[in-house]
Amino acid sequence: MNKILYLFSVILIGLSLIAVISCCEDDNNGKSPKWDIGEIPGTVFATFNDGTLTISGSGKIKDFGYTVLEGTRPWYDVYEDITGFVVEGGEISFPTAFMRFHPNLMTVSMERSGVTQLGLQLFADCVNLTSVTLPNSLKSIGWSTFANCKKLTSITIPEGVTSIGNNTFQDCESLPSITIPNSVTRIDPRAFVRCTGLSSVIIGSGVTLIDREAFQDCTNLTDIVFQGSDSLKTIGLWAFERCSSLASLTIPKVEYIANYAFWDCSSLTAISIGSIVAIGQRVFLACSSLTSVELPASVTDIGYWAFQDCINLSSFTVHWETPLSVTHLVFENVNTSAVTLYVPAGTKESYQSTPIWRDFNIVEKNN
């Protein structure tokens, strides 16, 4: 009896070894590992082959924890070998920080998918990511999606996206330019903060809000183009603060520019605004190179210190038939007697009798 049991055990062990050898042969014959990662089994899969992690299927991906460093993602053993990320199939929903901290990821290709949202911190801290292709189905880009992707140089936001979330491109210091499509209605706080390589921004006609600190410390930004927008309502607090290479600014229409929006734009020389209702406090504070300003008749309020320390201001053009009442603090530390104030024809006497404006060198301008 003992001999029979012994022989039976030997046979079982042998069969197990055959199964293991067979599995290893499959791997060695080029079959890529495949993981079921869907919240509902059988809906979303991941494969890894030749440096590329491919996500396919349709549905919601299960939550694997905050970062790959926790070791809970099935590809943890090869995460440092991942250089490409491909998404294909239907609509796939990603959990928070799904691809965060993949240090050697360089390319992302999602154009063959039906993805509609990029979730919170999806590619954050992928410090070697250079190129991203997004799907036409995309509707929103979430908070910090590409934050700290320091080598990102190529990305096109597709028409159809309606919102760009907080800190989306924070510290993407190699990004040279960005076009905000007409479908976008809002650029959320700090969306492009400290994109120090950014030189050109085109803002689509559908944008109603550029929120606080959206482009703060974009120190190489030289060109902002507003695409004939009648939709823009607000440029938020500190929105373009310390954009120290910005030389000129033309805004077709906006209702309100909030406090400090262009503070310390030290290379800004000329400002022209087609239509605006109110300018907040310290909006152009310390714009030390500013020489020329033109404001429309639609302005009803200019906040305290709006042009403080604009020490090179030489030309100020206004279109009010009746001078707007302002406080002397609007032009704090500006030698207004050295500034030529261009006013509508037939209004010079009115400006000469109005406090603050009468201190300028007033010249009537024929319309």
Distance (Å, whole) CA 288 – CA 39: 56
Confidence of residue 24 (pLDDT cuts 50, 70, 90): very low
Q: What integer pLDDT is reported at residue 148 of this predicted model?
A: 98
Question: What pLDDT digit, counting tens, does each position of 201-211 carry?
Answer: 999 999 999 99
DSSP-derived 3-state class of residue 312: coil
Round the average pLDDT of the chain to a whole number and report it: 91
Query: Quick check: helix, strand or coil at residue 341?
Result: strand
Tokens encoding 49 = 């082959």
Chain mean position to CA 302:
29
Q: What residues contact residue 20 under an 8 Å CB cut-off, 6+ apart?
A: none
Question: Distances in Å between the alpha carbon of 217 and those of 154, 158, 170, 265, 335?
Answer: 20, 25, 10, 10, 28
Buried b (16+ CB within 10 A) or exposed e, 294-308: bbbeebeebbebbbb
Assign 17 a pLDDT band (cuts: 50, 70, 90).
Answer: very low
Strand, coil or helix: 81: helix
Residue 201 pairs with which residues in a beta bridge?
178, 224
**What is the rounded distance in angstroms from the CA atom of residue 246 to the CA atom of residue 43?**
49
Percentage above 70 pLDDT, the chain? 91
Task: Compute CA distances 40 → 48, 94, 280, whole Å.
Answer: 21, 13, 52
166 three-state secondary structure: coil
Q: How many other C-beta atoms lie within 10 A of the C-beta of residue 82?
A: 20
In this predicted structure, the answer to whether residue 169 has a pLDDT above a threshold of 60 is yes
pTM exceeds cut of 0.85: yes
**Cα–Cα dist 225/245, whole Å:** 15
Q: If you average pLDDT over residues 42-70, what whole number do you get?
A: 94
Show the CA angle centred on residue 173, arms to residues 116 and 95, nearest 5°: 30
Indicate the residue type of 108. Answer: V
> Is residue 22 over pLDDT 80?
no
Long-range contacts of 87-90 (CB under 8 A, 24+ apart): 87/54, 87/55, 87/56, 87/112, 87/113, 87/115, 87/135, 88/54, 88/55, 88/56, 88/112, 88/113, 89/55, 89/56, 89/57, 89/58, 89/113, 89/114, 90/57, 90/58, 90/59, 90/114
Dist CA 46 CA 315 (whole Å): 62
Mean pLDDT (whole number) for 117-132: 96
Tokens 């042969």, residue located? 25
What SS3 class is residue 6? helix
Determine the pLDDT at residue 32: 73
Pairing of strands 292-294, 361-365: unpaired
- Measure Cα distances from 148 to 169, 175, 196 in Å: 7, 11, 12
Question: What CATH number is given for 85-365 in this structure?
Answer: 3.80.10.10
Rounded Cα distance between 89 and 104, Å, is 24
